[in-house]
Structure 1
Amino acid sequence: MTPLQAALGVRQGMRPEFPRNAHPKLLDLMQKCWETVPSKRPSFSEIIVELEELREEIQETSESLTHETSEANGE
């Protein structure tokens, strides 16, 4: 698909298919970014904040799981 074809598709209401296995908050952010009405889309500043919050959440979950696994293995 060329950039022109992509632009025409977006103008006609086409949107990419979102991966089903993505984090729910990431899916929500992607859907917000593809809002039909531009004024409803998040600003880049808002996107950065949401991505940073999601990164922290995932990192905390990962660290917690690593800690629990270590304890379960007697480490």
Structure 2
Amino acid sequence: MTPLQAALGVRQGLRPELPKHGHPELLDLMQRCWEGVPNDRPSFHEITVELENLLQEVERGLDSQANGA
């Protein structure tokens, strides 16, 4: 797919299919990034904050598993 084809697809409302298995917060963020109205999409700052929070959550879960909790 060329960049032009991708841009035209977005204008037509086409979006990639979400993976069946994924962290719900990440899937929600992905969907919000694909909003048709640009002002309804999260800012890069908001995306960064959410991804950092999600990473910390995942790391805490891994630490808990490693410690047998």
Q: TM-score, normalised by structure 1?
A: 0.88
Name structure 2 gaps, 5 residues minimum: none
> Which is bigger in relative contact order (C-alpha 8 A, separation at least 6)?
2
Equivalent residue letter for 2:50:
E
Q: Say whether 1:68 aligns with 2:68.
A: yes
What residue number does 2:40 align with?
40
Name structure 1 gaps, 5 residues minimum: 70-75
What residue number does 2:22 align with?
22
Deviations 1:21-75 (A, max 9, x none): 1111100000010011111100000000000000000000010011117xxxxxx
Backbone CA RMSD of aligned residues: 1.0
What residue number does 1:73 align with?
none
Runs of 4 or more, structure 1, over 2 Å off, are: none
